[in-house]
Amino acid sequence: MIVFGVRGHYLGIGGVENAVRELAIEATNSGDQVIIVSGDQATNENNKTFRNLPSQVSIITYSDETLLARLKKPASLFYGGKLLLSKYRELLKLYPEALVIARHHLHVLAAHKAGFRNISYIVPSLTDKQGREELENTNIVFRSVGLLRFKVDKLLQKRAFEQSKVYVFSSFMREQVRSSLGQHRNNKRVQKVEPGLDWCRFAIASSVKQENLRKQLGLPQKEKLFLFVGRFVKAKGIHFFIEAMSFLPSYCIAVLVGEGQQKKYLQEQVVKLGLNQRVIFVAPTNLVEDYYQACDTFVMPSTYEPFGQTILEAVACGCRVVAFSNKTRVKTATCELGLDFAITYVDQLTAKAFAQGLETSINPAFVLGDDIRSKHLQERYSWPALLSTLKKNDEV
């Protein structure tokens, strides 16, 4: 039995939720019983998934009481909250030897308090560090509340590290986790593993399909399209991308797929720079592969990025990539992906330098070869391989 724990709804739009679905499918295909413990369905999410979960997968949902607990019973957070703990206690009675694979620290805490001991925690990010990056330039009230919340989450996440087998997707993340552990860093193994990728879903489109997708999505037919996919928060560096567009010719169009607290600010930036006709905002979608296949270049202007799953997806679809290099002192793991043949690195943390990188990416001389879908990469980024690693370590 494998129990997957995810704080958001299992059909939600996001890399964490997608990983849980993919691992659940692979586990079912390999003959395991699977249960997903998931947050309640959010009413504002598009829950049309690319792959349906097998009927054998059981779903247990719970109401996230984190906000209420912070105000009334903060101590309950140290075991994941009362409602989440009750779900894991019920599961322990039925499956005491189950492997728990958690994607959020509250699930680790609840499972451990309930009595589970085979707990694997695949860390999406350090909540404190990512939170601080995202709070930059926000108003003082929002920032103050956010900093307090992230301090609490830092303590909770550290406790989760101590109660589980810890896995990360990059060396950058591994060092951050070890730093978080402080004096206990040498006593805790933090294992780097590779995430998976659905190589059938993320595939290169023919020129005919690309043309049809642009029509279907309402995108310009002849222009060069630069794509961003992700949350609209400060750490994603989208403001660099938008400003960079002001240095490019009019046939260059930006497509921003996502949502987030900086959306209004970004929209105002677009108006201020006179880019209303050259920046397109698109709501989050689970069919993000359509946009990868329709566009020419994928942009990763992030200043903090623990891994970069969207880069994998974009390159698999044939996109070139533009990103800031480590020379700019951004905190990202882009250089660890093994995809440098497809990436134009920008060595200065400025919009003008980023614009030069964008121009380079659409140069006809920049041709991607067969490396983008090599056997080596498909074996490296494989959901079955990741699941196999997690299960083997459970047997040790």
Strand partners, 224: 252
* Together in a domain, 149 and 97: yes
137 Rama class: left (phi>0) / alpha (psi -120 to 50) / beta: left
- Per-chain mean pLDDT for the chain: 88
* Together in a domain, 68 and 110: yes
125-150 mean pLDDT:
62
**Long-range pairs for 11-16 at CB < 8 Å and ≥24 separation?**
11/41, 11/45, 11/47, 11/49, 12/42, 12/45, 12/47, 13/45, 13/46, 13/284, 13/285, 13/286, 15/124, 15/309, 15/310, 16/103, 16/104, 16/124
Of 136-140, 160-164, 222-226, minimum mean pLDDT range: 136-140
pLDDT of residue 337: 93
How far from 63 is each of 8, 11, 76, 203, 346, CA to CA, in Å? 10, 15, 15, 37, 43
Kindly report the CA angle at 369 between 255 and 321, in degrees rounded to 5?
A: 25
pLDDT, greater one: 27 or 81? 27
* Together in a domain, 87 and 228: no
Q: pLDDT per residue over 9-25, tens digit each? A: 888 888 899 999 999 99
Rounded Cα distance between 63 and 239, Å, is: 35
* Together in a domain, 350 and 386: no
Task: Assess if residue 201 is contained within a domain.
Answer: no
pLDDT over 70 at 70, yes or no: no
Q: pLDDT per residue over 260-283, tens digit each? A: 989 999 999 999 999 999 999 999
Task: Assess if residue 298 is contained within a domain.
Answer: yes
Identify the residue whose tokens are 């679809």.
317
pLDDT of residue 224: 96
* Together in a domain, 353 and 389: no
The domain of 188 spans: 2-196+382-395
pLDDT of residue 45: 47
* Together in a domain, 32 and 143: yes
Q: pLDDT per residue over 311-320, tens digit each? A: 999 999 999 9
End-to-end CA distance of the chain: 16
Identify the residue whose tokens are 């037919």.
221
* Together in a domain, 174 and 266: no
All residues at 6 or more sequence positions from 134 whose CB lies less than 8 Å from its CB, including other chains? 233, 234, 235, 261, 304
Is the separation of the CB atoms in 300 and 313 below 8 Å? no
Task: Assess if residue 234 is contained within a domain.
Answer: yes
pLDDT of residue 374: 82
The letter for the amino acid at 266 is: L
Task: Assess if residue 228 is contained within a domain.
Answer: yes
User: How many independent structural domains does the chain possess?
Assistant: 2
Rounded Cα distance between 351 and 358, Å, is: 10
User: In whole angstroms, what separates CA 91 from the centre of its chain?
Assistant: 28
pLDDT, greater one: 45 or 37? 37
pLDDT over 50 at 369, yes or no: yes
Rounded Cα distance between 31 and 290, Å, is: 32
Is the separation of the CB atoms in 226 and 319 below 8 Å? no
pLDDT of residue 44: 47
Nearest to 226 by CA among 305, 310, 315, 321: 321
359-368 mean pLDDT:
84
CATH of the domain at 261: 3.40.50.2000
pLDDT over 60 at 43, yes or no: no
**Residue 46 structure tokens:** 């598009």
pLDDT over 80 at 46, yes or no: no
Per DSSP, the residues of 233-281 read SGGGTHHHHHHHHTTS-TTEEEEEE---TTHHHHHHHHHHTT-TTTEEE
Rounded Cα distance between 33 and 103, Å, is: 19
